[in-house]
Amino acid sequence: MAIWLAALGILGLLGLDVSRYFLIAGVLVLVIGGVFAGVTGIPLISDSRRVGRALDEWETAVAPFLYAVKFELLPIVDASREKDIWDRYKSIWHELSPAGDKKLRPLLMSSSNMLAFGESIKGRKAPHSFDIYARVDGEISLFVRRFVDEAPVGKPSLEKLISDAEDVLDRSDSDITIVSAFSKSGFSGEAIEYAKGRSEFDEETDLELISETEHGYRITFVGPYS
């Protein structure tokens, strides 16, 4: 290609009309460049997708370990259970951090970042109460409800929790949604099967079931990470 262009330059100096040949050369450059970009670009796209899948698989594989360490091995630090639970989730899901960062919040462009303890959160149909609610600009939402009854939590209570969370999500959806039920008396077998069923059939909102003990927590079910 370089030799051809040099030859065209010489012919031009001799007074011959070579404009048509320069046009052809330009087209060839574009075609060859496009082919080269296509050949090299396809592997790059394929590699990026492969890396993305690998990261997803790595997160899924590591998540059970993180949950076990953060909830079952580490002792309770904060006297408030809600704040203790929040700190543990924030350490697992770094995307949640901006919700509770008072210094960072005024700098964020979106006003939808929020962290609330024991407040009613507006849904499309009605407000709903959660012990912990956190939201970061449509990226991630956390819903936590604690059950302190002496009886194990049953399926109807979990269905209500899911329904309330989804009603809030109808107003402000998120890419990642975490819905967690904490119980001082554990969960019924039917409730556990309900949570497992949602995960098995790839429901958009998985349920995490965690039992509270005197000195910490015991994981019952944490969606696809169990």
Query: Which tens digits make up the pLDDT trace of 93-149?
Result: 999 999 876 654 444 444 578 999 999 999 999 999 999 999 998 899 999 999 999
Q: How far apart are CA 105 and CA 63, in angstroms?
A: 27
B/e letters for 46-62, b = 16+ CB within 10 Å, e = fewer, are eeeeeeeeeeeeeeeee
CA nearest neighbour of 86 among 180, 183, 226, 170: 180
* Tokens (6 digits) for 199: 């995960």
Burial of 208 (0-12, 13-18, 19+ CB in 10 A): buried
Q: How far apart are CA 60 and CA 82, in angstroms?
A: 26
The residue extents of the domains of the chain are 1-73, 78-225
What is the residue-wise DSSP string for 166-193?
Answer: HHHHTTS--SEEEEEEEESS-B-HHHHH
User: What percent of the chain stands above pLDDT 90?
Assistant: 49
The highest-level CATH class for domain 78-225 is: alpha beta
Identify the pLDDT of residue 105. 47
**Bridge partners of residue 113, in order along the sequence:** none
Angle at 79 between CA 75 and CA 84, to 5 degrees: 60
Q: How far apart are CA 132 and CA 134, in angstroms?
A: 7
Binned at pLDDT 50, 70 and 90, residue 204 comes out as low
Helix (H, G, I), strand (E, B) or coil at 139: coil
User: What percent of the chain stands above pLDDT 70?
Assistant: 65
Instruction: Give the rounded distance of the alpha carbon of 4 from its chain centre.
Output: 54
Question: Who's near 213: CB < 8 A, 6+ residues apart?
Answer: none
Query: Which tens digits make up the pLDDT trace of 11-34?
Result: 444 444 444 444 444 445 444 555
pTM: 0.71
